[in-house]
Copies of this chain bind each other. A is one copy, B any other.
Amino acid sequence: MPEIRQNIITRQWVIIATERARRPDQFRSAEAPRKDLPRHDATCPFCPGNEAMTPAETLRFPQAGPWQVRAFPNKYAALSAEGELARHVEGVKRTISGVGVHEVIVESPLHNTSLALMAEAEIEKVIAACLDRYHKVFSDHRVEAVTLFKNHGVAAGTSLLHPHCQLIGTPVIPTEVRQRLERALRFYDDNGSCIFCTTLNEELKDQVRLVAENKHFVAFIPFAALSPFHLWIYPRRHNASFGMITADEISSFARILRGVLRKLHFGLNDPDFNLVVRTAPRESNHIRYYHWYMSVVPRLTKAAGFELGSGMYINVSRPEDSAAFLRGVTAE
């Protein structure tokens, strides 16, 4: 019989659909979608030699010699870098001027690589660059929240295949972020403990949904995963904000992220996926009830009318089965 499980953090219900379930290996694609990409593409604005095709750099690692990581404003920014914040309310119509920051971080000079194929030290540099830009974006007084994300592949919504991630600093705290904060606060009121720490402790005790762990991080499939192979990477240390990550944690994070992405890459043949850092908005960096983490969302199935209409998801893969499958993929 199917099971309906609740995501304790969002309170979303997920149908774990056993009748239409697929075995984990059935999500493996027949062909790797990016296997024929060239190492360098002369028309790609993110490839070395085409630096003039992007807006002015905001970060370059290393500063001298050929770059490994570069950041710059998104040429087609969703929000305007110029202009002041203004609110306008007229009846039920509410508008804010679309100001904010939208940056791109190119993760490698190689057009055809991905985090799964990069060295640990290279991924550390990418995370360090994200952290640098994260603080810089927050230093803009108009920004109230920063979303750090990556779209890997066309199904994940990317338009440029060269490996990169993005930051958007918005002049509002997104409603979904507010709801997460409110729910986490309510759990803290009711239980006297952080909902994320509690979840992590239960997962470490249950074992069955664990995928990988190291000194500072634990990767697992959530009990109420919204979609097949949907993963969470939690820091063990209670800390509300990605911005407070330590140098030692960055190494540990790079290692576990690489390990998880290699399991997906080799186990499922390079699936498209999104990465999202869920972190507290600016004013909540030290709060006791919130805890930052990363969501890894492989795009193996599509949300359809039922999901749009109800906000409930149908997951055709049992979290325990996907976790066992990924634990079995040796990709070191």
On A, residues with C-beta under 8 Å from B are 1-6, 8, 10-13, 15-20, 76-80, 83, 91-99, 145, 147-151, 155-158, 166, 168, 170-172, 174-177, 195, 198-199, 202, 223, 274-278, 295, 297, 302-306, 308-312, 314
| A-B pairs with beta carbons under 8 Å apart, 7 shown | A4-B95, A13-B96, A150-B305, A151-B304, A156-B304, A168-B310, A276-B309
Smallest CB–CB gap between A262 and chain B, Å? 20
With a CB–CB cut-off of 8 A, which chain B residues contact A149? 304-306, 308-309
A305 touches B3 (CB 8 A): no
In the complex the two chains form, is B13's CB within 8 Å of A172's CB?
yes
Assess the B302–A176 pair: CB atoms within 8 A. Answer: no
Q: Which residues of B contact A96 (CB under 8 A)?
A: 3-6, 13
A284 nearest CB across to chain B (Å): 15
Expressed in whole angstroms, the Cα–Cα distance for A12 and B18 within the complex equals 32
Residue of B nearest to A273 (CB): B305
**Complex Cα spacing A174 to B8, Å:** 14
A12, A77, A78, A83 — most chain B CB neighbours (10 Å): A78
Establish whether residues A310 and B177, one from each chain, have CB atoms under 8 Å apart when the complex forms: yes
Asked if A92 contacts B199 (CB within 8 A), the reply is yes
Contact assessment for B93 and A202 in the assembled complex, using a CB-CB cutoff below 8 Å:
yes
Q: Whole-angstrom distance from the CB of A16 to the nearest CB of chain B?
A: 7
Q: Which residue of B lies closest to A276 (CB)?
A: B309
- Per the bound structure, the CA–CA distance linking A311 and B19 in Å amounts to 30
Q: What 10 pairs across the A-B complex have the smallest Cβ distances? A: A157-B304, A176-B311, A2-B98, A149-B305, A276-B309, A174-B310, A274-B305, A6-B94, A4-B96, A157-B302
